[in-house]
Amino acid sequence: MIGEPQYHTPFVSVIVPCRNESAFIGGCLDSILLNGYPSDRLEVLVVDGKSEDGTRAVLDRYAARYSCVRIIENPRMATPSALNLALSQATGSYVLRVDAHSSLAPGYIRCCVEALARYGADVVGGIMKAVPTMQTHVGRSIVAAISHPFGVGNSYFRVHTKGPKWVDTIFCGCYRREVFDRVQNAVNYQSGLASEGTTNTGTGGPFNDRLARGQDMELHRRLKKVGGKILLIPATTSIYYVRSDLRFFLSQSWNNGLWAILPFAYCDGVPVAMRHLVPFGFVSTILLTSAIGFILPKSLLACGTILSAYGTANLAASLQVAWRERSFAMVFVVPVIFFILHTGYGLGSLWGAVTVACRGGLWRKIGRSRIAREPAIEQP
pLDDT of residue 190: 42
pLDDT of residue 273: 80
Q: How many CA atoms lie within 13 A of 101 on its CB side?
A: 14
Does 1 score more than 50 pLDDT? Answer: no
Confidence band for 184, pLDDT divided at 50, 70 and 90:
confident
pLDDT of residue 72: 95
Q: pLDDT of 130-147, one tens digit each? A: 999 998 999 999 999 999
pLDDT of residue 364: 54
Q: pLDDT of 48-84, one tens digit each? A: 999 999 999 999 999 999 999 999 999 998 999 999 9
Does 198 score more than 80 pLDDT? Answer: no
Q: pLDDT of 278-313, one tens digit each? A: 999 999 999 998 888 878 887 888 889 999 999 999
pLDDT of residue 8: 74
Q: pLDDT of 222-231, one tens digit each? A: 898 888 999 9
Nearest 5°: the CA angle 155, 13, 79 is 55
What phi and psi values does residue 186 have, to the nearest 5 degrees? Answer: -75, -20
Percent of the chain beyond pLDDT 90?
A: 62
pLDDT of residue 266: 78
Please say whether the dihedral angle defined by the alpha carbons of residues 249, 135, 173 and 54, taken in this order, is positive or negative.
positive
pLDDT of residue 318: 95
Confidence band for 111, pLDDT divided at 50, 70 and 90:
very high
Q: What is the mean pLDDT of residues 194-200?
A: 39
Q: pLDDT of 162-179, one tens digit each? A: 889 999 999 999 999 999
Let me know: does 108 contact 126? Beta carbons within 8 Å.
yes
Percent of the chain beyond pLDDT 70?
A: 87
With H, G, I as helix, E, B as strand and everything else as coil, classify residue 343: helix
Q: Do you know the residue count of the chain?
A: 380
Q: Considering only 113-122, 271-280, 329-338, 365-374, which range has the smallest mean pLDDT?
A: 365-374
**Mean of pLDDT over the chain:** 86
Let me know: does 110 contact 37? Beta carbons within 8 Å.
yes
Give 358 or 248, the one with higher predicted confidence.
Answer: 248
| Alpha carbons 345 and 116: distance in angstroms, whole number | 34
DSSP H or E stretch at residue 332: helix 330-356
Confidence band for 161, pLDDT divided at 50, 70 and 90:
confident
pLDDT of residue 208: 87
Q: pLDDT of 239-282, one tens digit each? A: 999 998 999 999 999 999 998 888 888 777 777 888 888 999 99
Candidates 280, 302, 300, 278; CA nearest to 291 is: 300
CA dihedral 108→114→120→125, nearest 10 degrees, is 0
| Alpha carbons 184 and 205: distance in angstroms, whole number | 7
